[in-house]
Every structure is written in structure tokens, then in C-alpha cells.
Structure 1
Amino acid sequence: MNTAQTPSIEAQAAAERFARRVAVRLSAGSDDLPYDISERLRAARMQAVAKRKVVAPVLRTAPAIVSAGGAATLGRGGEGGGWLSALLSSIPLLALVAGLVMINIAQDEKNTNDVAEVDAALLTDDLPPSAYADPGFVQFLKTSAAQGR
């Protein structure tokens, strides 16, 4: 960035103060003007405000590219904060891990409930559990399903 072309913050603040003083003087003298002239001035002011380039102050620097032995990596760009910054940036990761753990617990509970329902159905059925292991029972189910059609 070329600092000779970019005005300093103090120069921008001084220009802003001067512009405010000029605006106050112009507003004070506009009360005595005819309606059509004051409306043209108002429209010109609105256009000037719309065209005014607003320069937001730079709050922090962009990440710097750091060269490390033939490989370029992104660095923090001199950003301070240390451990607090690292702690705050780890909060989304911790939330993700906590969410995944909660999903896993819910899935396990659902699977356990499904198995318990099947077991309860087997135990309360009229057939003994050994009937389900009999190879002829599978054939019986197939033939009874075919006859039911």
C-alpha cells in the first residue's frame, strides 16, 4: 500500500470536521432562500451524500502469507489475542463435537428401543422362540404368504 497516496487518519478527521462546519454554515444561511432554490440545494446535498465515498477504518490486518522452507502458509498477520483468540475460535469446533455426541447417544437409544420391541414381540408371541430357528418355519411362512394372496 502506498502511504503517499493514502491520507492519514488525522487528515481524514480534519477533513470531516471542516465538512461539518461548512454544512452547518450552509444550513444556517438556507433559511432565507426562496423555496425553489432551497429544494435544488436539498437535492444537490442528497446527491452529494449518495456519492460520498465512505471509508471504513481498518480494524485488523488480513492474514499474512508466511514462507516456511519453500512452502507458503497463511499466518495470523500479527493478530494479537493469543490464548483468548485460540479459545474463542475453538468454540464452534466444541459445539460440533457436542452435537455429534448427542446425535450418537440418540441413535444408540433408538436402536436399543427397536431391539427391545422385537424381543418383546418374540416373547409375547404364541410360538416358542425355537420355532423361529427351525428351517421349516421359513418355508411355512413363504407358503402361507403365497396362499394368502
Structure 2
Amino acid sequence: MNTDDLNFAYKVRHALNEQLDELPASTTDRLAAARKAAMARKKADAPVRVSERALATGGGAGFFAQPLSWLGRMGVAVPMLVLVAGMVGLYQYEEQERVAELAEVDAAVLSDELPLSAYMDHGFNAYLTKSEQ
């Protein structure tokens, strides 16, 4: 039964309860017969399963009301935290590698006997490229 059906049923019940004293006896008899017929056709309720843990905790709706619900939440949260920590670690590692590489290049340039202006010369860059091949 959806919410519209429930709302309609509540409105009809409220309207009938308000006007109950003014209804003729034949109408109340027909309504009583209709109610009995509806109750006879009503499906039997499914048996309710109650766990021992729910009985022990009084059936309260706390964090541990559903035994594995917190485990399910942690099953999602923990891998996400591991992923974020791994990505941060990888970023830090790559940044350290980049800094070490730049330091190595700076040390090679400073320890070389060539003047710094030689590295700015385009002909020198062409010479280095050609000599590497």
C-alpha cells in the first residue's frame, strides 16, 4: 500500500468517525459487514523474527542494533581511507624524487667548470644534443 492509499484511508476513517452519530443504523450495519469481509480477506501477518540480541538490548535502535551494519560501513570507509593515504604517499614520494633530481642537476651545474652563461647559449644546447646522439 503506498502513501496515497494510506492517506485516503485515514481521511475516510476520520470523516466516518466525525459523522458516526448521524449515520443511519442500516449504513452502520453495512459498514460493519464490509469491515468483516475485508478482515476475512486480509492476508495473515508474517511471523516476526526477533533475535536474542534484540531481546537483550530491548530492541533499541542504537549503533549496534543491526549487528553487521557498522562492519558494512567500515568495509567501505577503510578502503577509501587506504586509497587516500596511498595517493598522498605517492604524491609525497614523487615530489621528493623531483626535488632530488633538481638538486642533482644544480649540483652538477655548480661543480662544473663551465661558466653559467655557456648553459644559456643556444649553440651549446645544440652541441650537447648532437654529442649525445
Which category of TM-score, normalised to the shorter sequence, fits these structures?
0.3 to 0.5
TM-score in terms of structure 2 length:
0.42
More strand by share: 1
Structure scoring higher RCO (CA < 8 A, sep ≥ 6) equals 1
More helix by share: 2
If you compute each CA radius of gyration, which structure gives the higher value, 1 or 2? 2
